[in-house]
A = this chain, B = another copy of it.
Amino acid sequence: MSTSPRGKRTYHHGDLRPALLRAAAQVLEEQGPAGVLLREVARRAGVSHNAPYRHFASREALLAAAAAQGFEEFSARMQAAGPGAMAETYIAFALEHPQLFRLMFGGTLKLSSDADLSRASRGAYEGLVAAFRSRGDVPDPQTAAAAAWSLVHGLSELLLNGHFVEASAGEGAIGFARRVLGAVRFAAAAPPRPTHSSE
């Protein structure tokens, strides 16, 4: 298991931190956040049960690092998608990595605890806000961004947890998501003013 640069077994793994993160990501998707046991991750990385403590202060720190890594991949994909495809990219990410998504947004980790995690999370959000602001056709970009983020996030989570299994019966999750997203328009901030609306 401990595949270093060469196949030779060395006392020191040589590349353990990334290996642990890979193993953790694997266990995470298989078993969910609660199944990510420090010892199991160490087992898969081919090291002793205490080796992870050289790279992570605790089980929670390992989970936080995995979540931070998830946020980075998430941010990258969102940025690459561009403003028009962000919603579907968001939902696709959630459906592809359901457990990682739960870990990232489940609220189990406090964002304030881990600096990397906090930064990664904020980066993802600001990327979305910037995209909405650059569109220019929305009166209150910040509010609209918050609404869009909420809508897409809620839709992702409810889909993930099976709350729309029958509602999305014939068309599949993505098709259902498109339909739901299409039913929403963003307007100006003030409630009683029905001005123009954009996609």
Binds B, one of A11-19, A40-48, A50-58, A158-166: A158-166
A86 at the interface (CB under 8 A from B): no
Tell yes or no: A1 within 8 A of B by CB.
no
Give 1 or 0 for each of A173-184: 1 = CB within 8 Å of chain B CB.
Answer: 000100111111
Interface status of A93 (Cβ within 8 A of chain B): no
Number of copies of chain A assembled together: 2
Q: Does A106 sit at the interface, judged by CB under 8 A?
A: yes
Q: What string of 1s and 0s marks CB contacts (under 8 Å) between A55-81 and chain B? A: 000000000000000000000000000
Q: Is A85 an interface residue (CB 8 A)?
A: no
Per the 8 Å Cβ criterion, residues 141-172 of A in contact with B are 142-144, 146-147, 149-158, 160-164, 167
Most buried by B among A107, A150, A157: A150
State the CA gap A180–B190 with chains docked (Å): 9
Which of B34, B149, B189 sits near A108, CB closer than 8 Å? B34
The answer to whether A102 and B106 touch (CB under 8 A), given A151-B184, A184-B187, A186-B184, is yes
A191 at the interface (CB under 8 A from B): yes
A107 to B199, CA, bound (A): 31
Residues of B within 8 A of A83 (CB): none
- 8 pairs, A vs B, C-beta closer than 8 Å: A34-B34, A106-B106, A111-B162, A142-B167, A146-B167, A183-B189, A184-B186, A187-B197
